[in-house]
Structure 1
Amino acid sequence: MRVVVLEHGTRRRRERRRRAWWTGGELLVTVGIVLLLLVVHQLWWTNREAKEGAQRKVEALEREWGRGGGADSGTAASSEPGSPSSSPAAGEASVRVTIPDGTVANPAGSQSYAVLTIPRLHLRVPVAEGVGKQSVLNKGYVGHYRNTQQPGQAGNFALAGHRNTHGEPFRYINRLAPKDTIQVETEAAVYTYVVDRTLRQTSARDSGVIRRTPRSTVHPAYGYTSPGYYITLTTCTPEYTSRYRLVVWGRLSSMRPR
């Protein structure tokens, strides 16, 4: 009969291996829990916090402007003398519009000064100057690209917003279709734009889409060739990435002074 003798050194090595496996398993579980918490924070908490903050800012702007209601939902604002008709101009002819006194021409950096309403998406969010992440976009606001025009002005009123997390105001702008309305309220007036066309994907460096006469430098078939009164909405695409940009364009249809 053969007797197997286990040396103390062998037992110690086995014990160390068991401890290493146990420690590794605990670390993996801990890392998994931390990652899960980060995902919950990004996908749920930041959205909730930003949406609530954006709603409070909209209400604050309405109080500041001395009114409690929002823009007309789902209908274009009526035309006024000096403003364009309620229908978009034919072809690419520019539209003439009178900008009422009091329109904010040069808001301070990160200042919220307008409210964007998209009835089809049940969206109503503040517009702030600049597109900084911490100062504007991560608050759930929509940001106005500096050096582009203001609402109602000739040229291109260009905006950016998150598609995912931090309120994700532009999550579903890919659902916008021609003739959908976009309203921009300021202290001076309500401007109604009508969605005209969409560029589903372009480079993040395609600066042509926010020029005064917007036209993609990557996909030249998309955009405009004549001056006009435009609005541009930009966001990241595909979802949960920032590799490309999704662009929606519209034309000014009407203006209603407050």
Structure 2
Amino acid sequence: MPAPENGFKTALKRGERQIGCWMSLADPYAAELMASTGFDWLVIDGEHAPNDLRSTLAQLQALRGTGVHPVVRLTAGEPWMIKMALDVGAQTLLIPMVETAEQARALVAASRYPPEGIRGVGYAVARAAGFAAIPDYGETADAQICLLVQVETRKGLENLDAILAVEGVDGVFIGPADLAASLGHLAQGDHPEVTAAIDEAITRIVAAGKAAGILVFDLDRAAHFLQLGASFVAVGADMALLANAARSLSAKAKALP
């Protein structure tokens, strides 16, 4: 029995658009709710949300069998973080702040078993292998791992072509907020230099045959990126959806005559 197919990775290879949403509430109950809303993929955010390994595991369990693909964003691309996330069942990883091909190659190695990589061989006791119920997991797991790297600095843009040339990198995600800051335009995501840089980056990613992704809260901008060829686009975040809806309801209720 082989490792489960990563349907998200398969869809990206086919060029099928995947619409997603961020999850920052760090709660399995909220994750289960989000799974019912129709998104193709949901990010369990370990960089800017209060997630640890156990909360990540709980959300993976909540999403299992829902048809929605979980993407785990780690705090950083440390090999031990990658190993633990994969062992608890993540198949798609999103790694922030990748700036060089050397970094990208190290991430690929950390997500692959020897001899191709350095991932620790502990699947006999791992959830990823069904607690030893998937006997061929070790031989088949590598092919189902989807590695997405975030390019979100000036240096990362300068090295984008080299990063794209790294075998094993399945997609590149442009981080618009950090990129704007790196270009000298903090909190100015609509600055012409920033928007031009994002458009050029997505065009280069697609031309290289890799999947391009981004997070954007404006649907018109999302449509623009999809037209450029971006294939995994996130259009919101659970925290923002809840906060905005609650603030709007509160204001409207307090304005009642």
TM-score range normalised by the length of the shorter chain: under 0.3
The structure with the largest alpha-carbon Rg is 1
Q: TM-score, normalised by structure 1?
A: 0.27
Structure (1/2) with the larger strand percentage: 1
Q: Which has the higher helix share?
A: 2
